[in-house]
Amino acid sequence: MSFKYNKVLVVGATSGIGWALAEKMVQDGRHVVIVGRRQEKLDEFEQKHGSDKVDSIIFDISNLDEIPKFVKQVTSKHPDLDSVFLNAGIQRGFDFSKPETVDLSVLELEFKTNYLSYVHLTTAFITFLQKQDKETSLIYTTSGLALLPLPRCPNYCASKAALHHMILVLREQLRAGPGSINVIEIFPPAVQTELHDAKHQPDIKNGGSIGMPLEEFTDAAWAGLTQGEEQIPVGFVGKAFDAFENKRQEMFKGFMVNMK
């Protein structure tokens, strides 16, 4: 099966999951608009795949006040955009048993990047997507840690849990229209990417070897995307869905019915 969207904005495309899935989209004949903070990586991707298939924009999504301007720039240049893939994120370790080691400015940046920027971007893009006369999508990378937290990175887990809950509600709100916006969530396990690099998390040793190989993850996530799944748990996250998340979401839907 093929991916149903033709032009995709990929935020957080300069490495790891974003880079790998953007490549899958290009290989499937789609046009991608890649976004990230590192110009050299954006240029590398565009040179590898060709400017006829790739456009690139340098932008830091933690600059929340600049997001409306960024979205206007993107949608003006690409009025045929039909999918927005929000994938950027950072992970940092915090030990609250040693409060003197907790840098709250870093904690705030992590939450801003992983959650608040997604809310700002979502809000800004919805107006554009609602006006389209075709099926569109908002795609999010969250994490298995949204469901099962890991003690060494409590704020990362909290940011992903917040995003997961927002996505559950957003999907229900958008079902009524206007427009036809599909809301898709990808739940990675730990994946071998730059997320765990020592330059970002010096307490982790050999971070690049932690988790599922990127290619294996990408194949699984891509299969879910091409099959049109709304929720795509990969690796151990599928077990969490079987054990409790499916039941929890059934209760969520029942709760909504009872609240009407």
Per the annotation, the verdict on 115 as an active-site residue is: no
CB 128 within 8 A of CB 75: yes
Angle, CA of 200, 202 and 206, to the nearest 5°: 95
Cα–Cα distance between 254 and 107 in angstroms, integer?
35
Query: Residue 196 gets which letter from DSSP?
Result: G
- Locus of tokens 């932008």: 59
Cα–Cα distance between 70 and 116 in angstroms, integer?
16
Cα–Cα distance between 99 and 135 in angstroms, integer?
48
CB 84 within 8 A of CB 138: yes
CB atoms within 10 A of CB 219: 13
Cα–Cα distance between 14 and 66 in angstroms, integer?
20
Catalytic residue (one of 5, 115, 118, 156): 156
- Locus of tokens 């400017």: 51
Q: Indicate which residues carry an active-site annotation.
A: 156
